[in-house]
Structures are given as C-alpha cells and as structure tokens.
Amino acid sequence: MPTSMRLLLAGLIGAAFAHGAGVETLMLRYGQAYSAAHSVFSLPISIAQREGLFAREGLDVKVLIPIPGGSDKMIAALHDDEVDLTHVATPFLIRAALAGSDAVGIAAEFDNPIYSLVAKPEIKRFADLKGKIIGLADAAGTIAISMRKLLALHGLEHDFGVKMIEGTPTRWNCLHQGDCDAVVLGQPQDLLAVQEGYRLLGTSNDAVPELLYTVTAIRRSWAADHKEAVTRYVRGLGAAFAFIRDPANRDRVIRTIVDTTGVSELIAGQTLDLYFKPERGVLPRRGEIDPKGLQQVIALMSEAGNLEPPLPTADRFLDLDYLRAAGIE
C-alpha cells in the first residue's frame, strides 16, 4: 500500500475513534413487565443489550422489571417517573392516551403476534370447552379480543368460564397445574406445551387481521428534552431486529431465547422457524410502524365494546419523528 494511502487510512481510523470517544454515554430506564421478560416478547431488547447494540449507540439502557400489575400499569410507570420508556401493548397505550396521558408509541416491538389456544389433552375440539375454564388476558387487550373472536368462530360465545391471568408464563402455570382447562399462550410456552402433550386448538391469526401489537412508548413532554437519547434508542432497537433476522446470527438468537425463557434450544429454534419460515410479519424489520396496524387495533377495540364512536385515528397515539431521525421511517 502506498505511503499516502496508509496515512489517509490511519487518519480516517483516528478520526473515527476520536468521534466515538467524544460521544457522551446516555442512560435510559426501560420498563418491562414480568410476563414479557420471561417470554419471547423480551427478545428485541435482550438482543440489543447482549449484542452491544445499545452500547454502540452510546447508551446505557437499564431494563427495569417487573412493573407490578402488568400491561395496564406500564404507562403509569412513565408518569410516575419510574422509567423513561416502556414496552406496552397498544390497547393500553390507546386507553391511557384517551384518558389524558401524553404517552405515544415511537417504535414497533411486535407486529402480528401468534397466540395459541392450548388445552388439556382430553379436550379434542372447541366444543369440548363448553362449561370449562379458559385462562385469558385482560379483556381490553388484543389477546383476549382475538381469542374471543376465535372461540366465536367455532360456536362458543359465553358458554365457558374465564380466568383473567396476566402473562403467558402465568397462564401456562394455570394449565400445567390443572386449574385451567385451556389457556392462551405465546412463544415459546405454546410450543413447549404441545411438546408435553397438550392440544393446540387454534391461533389468534385465524381470527384477526394484521395489527400492531406492542410498541416502545414514551411521554411526549419527556422526549422533547431527550431527543438524542430517544433517537439512539430507536437506532439500537432497529439494529436488534436486523440482527435477529440475519441467518448468520441464528445460533446467538436461539441462545438468547434459551437464557431468557428457560426452554430448550429445540423449542427456541422452533419459535424462530414459526416466525420466519415462512415470513409471517410477526417482527418488524427495523422497528418501523405502520399506522394501519394500529388503526386495526382501534377497530377491534370498538368491535369489542371498549371504544365508542367517533373513533380516533392512529396518528394520535404515534410519534414517528424518532424513527425518521434514526433513518428507519
């Protein structure tokens, strides 16, 4: 290599290190419910942490769990200054905003979740659930709404009992201990249940169209004073989705699922295959938000009697400026 080229390359490398050294490390407190922390819904944040993708953006992200009470408490944690940003299911974001919160979604975490209705082995069909106890999530959320639609498609409207149980791990315990006859499970617990001999009756995707399930939410008022930190967060989260989708990283992603959920490598691999073979749109590509997916949630909430007309538009609950600043939206 010519001397001039070596000097130019050395200068560029030196400038890069000088730039990196000058970046101030910013701290963010991220709120996560216990139920998410022990299921696949923690995957994007776990990958960003474990693979140094937040650190690369000059962020020190503290993941704070559990937030007591589940999904309906996530936005309250923002207002109580317990966290700076939080994982939240979109119906609870909508409900809080309509009640006066300035919380908004800034990046997608999960788009189209696959929730499974899993029953005891002796329950062979939907009709066998008549008079039985089904473990569902909060009635205002898309999990319960989609499951009730699925049950109605198979002739079951009100002829079963309900236990409202927050979180896939807790619902799995209810089924496993025999206190529920059927429950709604996400991954990887639904795959584990089937492996153990429980019966898969159907999935949420059989009953509902594409939607926006969970987002990272912030308060507009707080974010206005922390634009750089929020933009770095969104960029790091986007890198996590790209990492998850790269086949070269499959083994590392599987190891993260195993470590966070406690399942086997086989079940962790089946979870990834469920999402990507073929592509089912479960995960965003880089955290991008399609407002149509949130508008579909609004429509589902109205159909379930949880929202009254006139219905709000999705943009009321979103701020896409940080995705744009991060080069994603």
CATH number where 140 lies: 3.40.190.10
Residue 66: predicted pLDDT = 63
Q: Are residues 49 and 151 in the same domain?
A: no
d(CA 107, CA 212): 10
Q: Are residues 96 and 225 in the same domain?
A: yes
| E-strand stretches of the chain | 26-31, 59-64, 85-89, 103-110, 116-119, 133-136, 161-164, 182-185, 199-203, 214-219
Choosing from 161, 187, 206, the residue where a domain stops is 206
Residue 35: predicted pLDDT = 78
Cβ neighbours for 121, distance < 8 A, ≥ 6 positions apart: 197, 198, 199
d(CA 323, CA 175): 40
d(CA 71, CA 48): 22
d(CA 192, CA 187): 8
Q: Three-state SS for 66?
A: coil
Residue 65: predicted pLDDT = 65
Choosing from 206, 240, 271, the residue where a domain stops is 206
Residue 69: predicted pLDDT = 66
Q: Are residues 133 and 38 in the same domain?
A: no
Residue 175: predicted pLDDT = 97
Q: Are residues 85 and 122 in the same domain?
A: no
Of 117, 114, 118, the C-alpha closest to 197 is: 118
Q: Are residues 177 and 252 in the same domain?
A: no
Range of the domain at 181: 116-206
Q: Are residues 34 and 106 in the same domain?
A: yes
Alpha carbon 93 to chain centroid, angstroms:
13
Q: CA-CA-CA-CA torsion for 37, 67, 137, 309, nearest 10 degrees?
A: -120
Residue 105 domain-assigned (yes or no): yes
Per-residue model confidence as pLDDT tens for the chain (329 residues): 443 333 333 333 333 433 344 578 999 999 998 878 888 999 999 999 999 999 999 999 999 766 766 677 899 999 999 999 999 999 999 999 999 999 999 999 999 999 999 999 999 999 999 999 999 988 888 999 999 999 999 999 889 999 999 888 899 999 999 999 999 999 999 999 999 999 999 999 999 888 999 999 999 999 999 999 999 999 999 999 999 999 999 999 999 999 999 999 999 999 999 999 999 999 999 999 999 999 999 999 999 999 999 999 999 999 999 999 999 97
Q: Are residues 225 and 318 in the same domain?
A: yes
Q: What is the DSSP letter of 23?
A: S
d(CA 304, CA 151): 14
Residue 15: predicted pLDDT = 33
Residue 8: predicted pLDDT = 35
Quote the number of domains for the chain.
2
Q: Degrees (nearest 5) of the Cα angle 292, 166, 264?
A: 90
